[in-house]
Amino acid sequence: MTNQQLIERFRDYLLVELHLAEATVDTYYRESMRFAGYLEQQATGIAEADPQMIVAYILARQQESSIDSRTVAKAVSSLRSLFQYCILERLRDDNPAMVVEMPKARMHLPGVLSVEEVEHILDTIDITEALGLRDRALFELLYSCGLRISEAVELELSQVFLRESIVRVYGKGRKERLVPMGEEARYWLRRYLDEGRPQLTGIEQPKVFVGRRGAGISRKGIWKRFKELTARAGIDAKVHTLRHSFATHLLEGGADLRAVQELLGHADISTTQVYTHIDTSSLQDIHRSCHPRSIEILGSEEAVREVLP
């Protein structure tokens, strides 16, 4: 079996057997193909690779493109899965990538928009056309439900329950969750489905969000449209920022961390905890309203100074 054939079978295994998200599978596939290309230069097959070759490959990648620790971690994770598949296929009895140390990724605080900034971006959408109604419904839903872009792309009509204000979402690994939508999202989604979508496609199209030619909208299509909107609004943000803002605004409003974890579809609560950052002004507001010796309760900043050492 050639390296190419092995990796193609590995890709099918990830999709069919493990039911991983297509984006994850693509990442693992691309990284495995890069690694296979490197091994071919060394006249070595995947079944014969050792830890030293993996380390040399990672170092070569870093020198070529200056990849960061997160990309290195993805590369190591991809190769660990590849070699684990080799063990399942009895092509080898060890996983050399397991002894390669995974780099510690820096804590990265996601960008977050204020409520006013979200509203400003949404208000720039021209809703006099069918595509404008689609965009308003799409981005309202992304913000109201905290959806991933891939989840919005794959959303089908059968997953939308307007009467109950709920959407059924299939996240990473096809994990299902029910997410409530707000009144604004429900209003614009209904208008799009009633007025905009019929102008773009026929009833046989199952995808909720479609393009000008009636086919389901792509991830790149969403990225491009949001970039145009943020440029028009004069705000620097990415589509995924709407998901970050959804989580942060919920937590700032008093939502329980576990509830936000469920709404986001995170398997591990540690992933959700990155959203627990709160700006200084919010901390001051909490202190003023909750602490028994706060400025608000004592009546002046001078009074606060009296209780400080």
Domain positions in the chain: 3-99, 115-276, 280-309
Distance CA 161, CA 167 (A): 6
Query: Cα–chain-centroid distance for residue 272?
Result: 12
Q: Are 147 and 179 in contact (CB under 8 A)?
A: yes
List the catalytic residue out of 30, 168, 172, 177. 172
- Judge if 3-99 and 115-276 fold alike in CATH terms: no
SS3 content of the chain, % helix, strand, coil (to 5): 65, 5, 30
List the catalytic residue out of 11, 186, 207, 266. 266
pLDDT at 305: 42
- pTM given for the model: 0.63
List the catalytic residue out of 28, 85, 170, 275. 275
* 74 part of the active site: no
Distance CA 72, CA 218 (A): 27
Q: How many helices and strands, by DSSP H and E, does the chain display?
A: 16, 3
Query: In CATH, what number does 115-276 get?
Result: 1.10.443.10
Using a 10 angstrom Cβ sphere, with 0-12 exposed, 13-18 middle and 19 or more buried, the burial of residue 41 is exposed
List the catalytic residue out of 148, 186, 207, 225. 148
User: Up-side HSE of residue 45: CA atoms within 13 Å toward CB?
Assistant: 12
pLDDT at 291: 58
Angle separating helix axes 69-88 and 51-65, nearest 10 degrees: 150
Beta bridge partners of 179: 167
List the catalytic residue out of 186, 243, 244, 249. 243
Q: Are 165 and 180 in contact (CB under 8 A)?
A: yes
Q: What are phi and psi of 211, to 5 degrees?
A: -95, -170
pLDDT at 106: 57
Average pLDDT of adjacent 10-residue blocks, the chain of 309 residues: 90 89 88 93 90 91 77 89 94 91 63 91 94 96 92 94 92 85 93 95 91 92 94 92 89 84 82 62 56 50 41
Torsion of CA 52, 55, 59, 60, to 10 degrees: 60
* 249 part of the active site: no
* 275 part of the active site: yes
pLDDT digits (tens, 9 = 90+) for 196-231: 999 999 888 999 999 999 999 999 999 999 999 999
* 19 part of the active site: no
Q: For the sheet containing 160-161, what is the strand order?
A: 160-161, 166-170, 176-180
Q: Which CATH architecture does the domain made up of 3-99 adopt? A: Orthogonal Bundle (1.10)
* 258 part of the active site: no
210 Cβ neighbours under 8 A, 6+ residues apart: 134, 197, 200, 201, 216, 217
**Which amino acid, one-letter code, is at 249?**
H
